[in-house]
Structure 1
Amino acid sequence: MMRSPKVAALAVGATAATLVAVAVYPASAAGTTTHHTGTLADGATWIADVPANWNGTLVLFSHGFGPLTAQDAPSAQSGTALLAQGYALAGSSYDPKGSLWALNSSVRDQFATLTAFGRQFGTPQRTIASGDSMGGLTNSIIAQDGAGRISGAVTFCGMVDGAVDLTDSELNGEYAITTLLPGASGVQLRDFTSFGQGAASGTALQSSISTAQSTASGRARIALASALLNETDWASGSAAPSPGDFVGQEQQEEQTLTGGQLPFVLGAEAAIEQAVGGDPSHNVGVNYAALLRSSPYYSQIKALYQQAGLDLDADVAALDKNESYTSEGDSLANTERTSTNSGYLPIPELDVHTIADQLIPVQQENNYAQRVREHGDAANLRQSYVAAIGHCNFTAADVVAAINTVSARVGTGHWSPTDAATLNAAADKLTGLGGGNFLTYQPTPLVVQPTW
């Protein structure tokens, strides 16, 4: 049964700072806690917090997209709770001279932080790698490369399918908006020189969506674009719309698309282009009819088009006819090299994802699981889901229960149950941390052109 949602809206005009908050721990978190800061060879800073009752396990945290500031836990509350249980914490800022899209340095700097921590405090008995959002992709690569150095991994709201599918699906949806919605034609979708320039394009798309919402034809086309974006249809504090509630689905899809997501996504495009040498996304050769037929929202789209008296085939033909975006320079190869994982998983990993994530679609978990299966490592992967709206919108109890579950897996050599009831029971035992919000869930397929 789905518990009450915990709502986290992304504010209109949000900046990169939205997704990172440096944890500050009270001195009484675990008796005396030693806090250390240091500098790595590339100028990245690293921090560590080690409690007096250190249990020998280090949690190495990879932060998400945002300021290049060292962080060693997803939040202050979860960090405090982990220190109180005896875990040590560490994490790096990543290369301060690089892009906020820090995949060029994040894995290297996290392993360097692990080495530096060992020199300062002694080699941990076990190291559990953790990360969220973009840091979740970093974490999946650390898990891939971590045999002998990393004991287990916990990934929260992670971009585990990699950046290629993410940027392609974003382009598909943005392209549909500029092609089909009046007022959006000509809005720039790439080649931004700053976060602000990209965010301005996102605001323009947002405005065109708000205007289109007032007409039946506009609502049908918003639903189509939402499907290509792999957008969530659960955006309010009330219950999620039912599978047959096509009007309710579209209303909440529009609410998500006008809630600040697009300015953030297009603003971040500037950092991605800086990191990989251009825009890696493309749509030349995409079969939009096939993509839409693969969407779980295809019935909704057809129904809304019929209600509006629109010709769906004509709109799809317009999308196919006007395809013009190709990956720029070496950007696609650079993205595949730095911002994807292979699916090789030599250590146990637990993924945790909210089911209504407006920035990193929960459907990414399907593609990651398939890749891991193809490598023969499915026994090492567990995936769990949280009934919450918003990107990385977990309670501290969700976070700590997940890390404790992987710690137990590392200690015993076998998985204890990771079903929703067991994880909720573990989370609910953690006093004052917000309780568990896990549920039984299976994501729908990711709607994007195949890239692997």
Structure 2
Amino acid sequence: MTITTLLVVGLAPAADATEAGHHTGQLPGGATWVADVPESWNGTIILYSHGFGPLVAQDAPDAATATALLAGGYALVGSSYSGPSWWALESAVGDQFGALAALEAKIGAAKRTIAWGTSMGGLVSAREAEDPHHRIDGALTTCGLVAGALNLDDYQLHGEYALSHLLAPEQAIKLVRYGSQDEAAAAAATLSEVTSDAQATPAGRARIALAAALTNVPTWYTGAVPPAPRDYETQEAQQEQTLAGFVLGFVMTGRYQIELAAGGNSAATRGTDYRALFGGSSHAQQVRTLYRRAGLNLDADLAKLSRDADITADPGAVATLTRTSVPTGRLRVPELAIHTVADQLVPVEQENWYARRVAAAGTGHLLRQAFVQGAGHCAFQPAETIAALHALEARVSTGRWGRGAEPERLNAAAGTGRYVRFEVPHLVGAVSNAKVHGSGIEGGRRDG
């Protein structure tokens, strides 16, 4: 499966869709929308928000899930979003609500509307859950980028900077303020090659592990089960495969799209204490062990990173992303978030930051989070996401969560047995919740 397929999976228009069941249209701002309505509609609309990628309207995460939802009587609708960039958070919430209104104008008002978002779309649905007009009744975020763009840009930059500065200090690899998609792709190809080459030596492997820790890269990438807890070499090998194999290529070109939307670079290294930053990682013991076995001085490398850090953020870009692309945590409706425990593109650690954000806003009673024992971005089975949908619907209907979002109940409904109890690690490089309120955020703004 390609990266684009993984993140932007959508439905081709059904060849045999009837005029009554399949609807499309265009919104005043330029976004397109698509909807599918079953013959026996149950009165619920799923407002689906797609992930990062081409601005193409989608109304479900994949064909199998769409088929199951339509068979269950749900109507589906989603927009393409609009804007100059794939990072379309400026317009996405408005476009989604526009698509919902357009569908309801055709089929009548829904009895219930559930926002469902995937990846970047999970951030969209989290923001829809903050809508003061209560145009939705609940939100389901799946593999959601719920820690927002400021966190995403920061921790990815920390890891890229560590790889570049420790593995290839003589090369001037551009990490921010790309002038074009091609420039970003060229930088990503160079850094991926540097990382792949460094895997040949113990010193290189230790430094890759450090960069992976700063980037919140999980130690499980392939295989039915994760590497053993103390099998640090295998863990690092899977992190290197993750970084060099696809993550660097995806996130560095993705940075160009975010910069395009923000009007500049929102991330900084200057002023960062990398020793403190690294100390908050759940992978710290792995890194320390690999450094010791390689005969390297970890403290010296961390000091070098801190001393030489010179990338600053553009205040205007920080202000734009703070306004458009960071959840406030002020939920207006119940929200259920689900995540695989080893997500390479949207680390599960984002759920830790988001839960604290929601709690700080005083709406923690509306949020529940559930975790699937699996590796991969958005690597859910349709039955697992539909079980989560039903748990959310029960909360909307009854006004209480009960045990509906606990692993045992979700597994019973899904029949897969993969929901587990999981303690979410701290997000390395996280923007302090106390500081995400204005545009003056610079280096040194992290929780650690």
- Structure 1-normalised TM-score? 0.91
- 5 Å-filtered alignment, 1:66-145, equals 66-95=53-82, 97-145=83-131
Q: Partner residue of 1:259?
A: 245
8 A contact 2:205–2:236 mirrored in 1: yes
Secondary structure of 2:37's counterpart equals strand
- 5 Å-filtered alignment, 1:318-397, equals 318-397=304-383
Consecutive unaligned residues in structure 2, runs of 5 or more: 434-448
In structure 2, what is the Cα distance between the partners aligned to 1:393 and 1:183?
36
Question: Residue 437 of structure 1 is aligned with which of 393, 418, 430?
Answer: 418
**Residues 1:240 and 2:226 aligned together:** yes
In structure 2, what is the Cα distance between the partners aligned to 1:349 and 1:253?
31
Question: Residue 23 of structure 2 is aligned with which of 33, 36, 54?
Answer: 36
In structure 1, what is the Cα distance between the partners aligned to 2:242 and 2:44?
39
CA offsets per residue over residues 282-307 of structure 1, 9 Å max, x none?
Answer: 11111100011111111111111111
Q: For residue 22 of structure 1, what is the amino acid of its counterpart?
A: G
8 A contact 2:134–2:332 mirrored in 1: no
Q: Partner residue of 1:312?
A: 298
In structure 2, what is the Cα distance between the partners aligned to 1:239 and 1:17?
24
- 5 Å-filtered alignment, 1:79-228, equals 79-95=66-82, 97-145=83-131, 147-182=133-168, 185-228=171-214
In structure 2, what is the Cα distance between the partners aligned to 1:378 and 1:326?
34
Secondary structure of 1:330's counterpart equals helix
Compute the displacement of 1:421 (Å). 2.0
Q: For residue 113 of structure 1, what is the amino acid of its counterpart?
A: A
Q: For residue 429 of structure 2, what is the amino acid of its counterpart?
A: V
CA offsets per residue over residues 69-103 of structure 1, 9 Å max, x none?
Answer: 110111111011001000110000111x4211100
8 A contact 2:214–2:429 mirrored in 1: yes
In structure 2, what is the Cα distance between the partners aligned to 1:360 and 1:61?
19
**Residues 1:21 and 2:16 aligned together:** no
Compute the displacement of 1:119 (Å). 1.2
- Structure 2-normalised TM-score? 0.92
Q: Partner residue of 1:451?
A: 432
8 A contact 1:35–1:48 mirrored in 2: yes
8 A contact 2:150–2:431 mirrored in 1: no
Judging changes above 3 Å, is the alpha-carbon distance between structure 1 residues 18 and 245 closer, same or farther for their aligned structure 2 residues? closer
Compute the displacement of 1:147 (Å). 4.9
Identity of matched residues, %? 46
In structure 1, what is the Cα distance between the partners aligned to 2:388 and 2:363?
20
**Residues 1:421 and 2:411 aligned together:** no
Compute the displacement of 1:442 (Å). 1.6
Q: Partner residue of 1:51?
A: 38
- 5 Å-filtered alignment, 1:398-413, equals 398-413=384-399
Compute the displacement of 1:222 (Å). 0.6
Compute the displacement of 1:281 (Å). 0.5
Judging changes above 3 Å, is the alpha-carbon distance between structure 1 residues 59 and 175 closer, same or farther for their aligned structure 2 residues? same
Secondary structure of 1:60's counterpart equals strand
8 A contact 2:11–2:63 mirrored in 1: yes
In structure 1, what is the Cα distance between the partners aligned to 2:285 and 2:194?
24
Secondary structure of 1:290's counterpart equals helix
In structure 2, what is the Cα distance between the partners aligned to 1:449 and 1:68?
28
Compute the displacement of 1:402 (Å). 1.3
> Higher relative contact order at CA 8 Å, sep ≥6: structure 1 or structure 2?
1
RMSD: 1.9
CA offsets per residue over residues 101-143 of structure 1, 9 Å max, x none?
Answer: 1001001101111222221111101100010111111110000
Secondary structure of 1:196's counterpart equals helix
8 A contact 1:232–1:356 mirrored in 2: yes
8 A contact 2:126–2:146 mirrored in 1: yes
8 A contact 2:353–2:430 mirrored in 1: no
8 A contact 2:6–2:378 mirrored in 1: no
Secondary structure of 1:144's counterpart equals coil
